[in-house]
Amino acid sequence: MMELHCEAQRGSPPIWYHFYHEDVSLGSSSSPFGRGASFNLLLTAEHSGNYFCEADNGQGFQRSNTVSLTVRVPVSQPVLTL
């Protein structure tokens, strides 16, 4: 499980937070009091890649820096056949 957290340091509420993986929207959440928002993912190898968020309060949006994530999956138990 991974939690993405996005928070604008300043801006008039309410603030909408949008989460992205490889420029594809994962979802959004509002913060009526101006605090940050979080988004949870149950990770698989397909979740490797670049993530960012945007904060928007109707006065324009700001984009976060991009964070790169590599998900490593343990090898499964091998099966020997004859």
Does the residue 82 lie in any domain? no
Q: How many domains does the chain have?
A: 1
pLDDT recorded at residue 35 = 82
Band (73; pLDDT cuts 50, 70, 90): confident
70: pLDDT strictly greater than 90: yes
Domain extent at residue 27 = 2-69
pLDDT recorded at residue 22 = 96
Does the residue 41 lie in any domain? yes
How does pLDDT run across 43-66, given as a tens digit for each residue? 999 999 999 999 999 998 999 999
How does pLDDT run across 7-44, given as a tens digit for each residue? 998 888 899 999 999 999 999 999 888 789 999 999 99
Phi-psi sector, 23: left (phi>0), alpha (psi -120 to 50), beta: left
pLDDT recorded at residue 32 = 85
Cβ neighbours for 8, distance < 8 A, ≥ 6 positions apart: 15, 34, 36, 55, 57, 62
Does the residue 37 lie in any domain? yes
pLDDT recorded at residue 5 = 95
Does the residue 21 lie in any domain? yes
Does the residue 81 lie in any domain? no
| CATH code, 18 | 2.60.40.10
